[in-house]
Amino acid sequence: MSYRIKRCLPEHLRTDAARLYWSAFGAKLGRVLAPEDQALHFIARAIDPSHVYCAISSDGELLGVAGFRTPHGTFVGCEQAHLRASYGRLGGMWRMACLAVLGGDHEHRAMIVDGISVRPDMRGSGIGAALIEALCHTARRRGYGQLRLDVVAENTRARALYERIGFVVTHRRSRRLTAMLFRFRTVLIMRRDLGDLG
């Protein structure tokens, strides 16, 4: 299937992007963001379409997304107003406290990947690597020397992809609280030096 990589999410694909994001991260975020219908509502509202690259098929289907985070914004933000609109006042408040555990850090030398998801039937087709390359070029154009991503230690398939395209593990971060809230404890911080992009 042919596809193109496009910067920014077309508005008519916002719901599809939320579903794709949930398919990749729902198992981790489910304890906090479930039920699924409310999670999808929240994610769709929280998406910043200017902080993502999309893989779109020749017939207009969304095949994959790769979000990014800078000091100016992030692909799926965590604003109280979005949480309140999806979960109500109290539901939004406790979810905000839980999501704060994940952090929303920024770096001066590295642009941060904020979620990559490829449609299950398109995995292994090169879409994930193409999306990462688009992020690398954007990071370089914005003056960053590295692209950083965080991957759950148990996600060996994703780690293998990232290592294949030039990322290296620079350190590990373990937190008991993330194990209780999000079903993972250890995250690998991976970086790719962008000096080779020219």
Our count of domains for the chain comes to 1
Q: For position 40, what pLDDT does the model report?
A: 98
8 Å CB contact between 22 and 34: no
CA nearest to 18, candidates 62, 58, 50, 56: 62
- Domain membership of residue 104 as a residue range: 3-197
Q: For position 177, what pLDDT does the model report?
A: 72
> Phi and psi dihedrals of 69, rounded to 5?
-125, 135
Alpha carbon distance 106, 72 (integer Å): 10
Q: How confident is the model at residue 104 (pLDDT cuts 50, 70, 90)?
A: low
- Kindly report the CATH number assigned to the domain that includes residue 156: 3.40.630.30
Which of 70-84, 104-118, 158-172 bottoms out in mean pLDDT, i.e. has the lowest?
104-118
Expressed in percent and rounded to 5, the helix, strand and coil fractions of the chain are 45, 30, 25
Mean pLDDT confidence for 87-116: 87
3-class SS at 191? strand
Tell me the average pLDDT of the chain. Answer: 92
> Phi and psi dihedrals of 107, rounded to 5?
-130, 150
Q: How confident is the model at residue 110 (pLDDT cuts 50, 70, 90)?
A: very high
Structure tokens at 48: 């910043």
Alpha carbon distance 120, 117 (integer Å): 9
8 Å CB contact between 192 and 166: yes
Mean pLDDT confidence for 141-163: 92
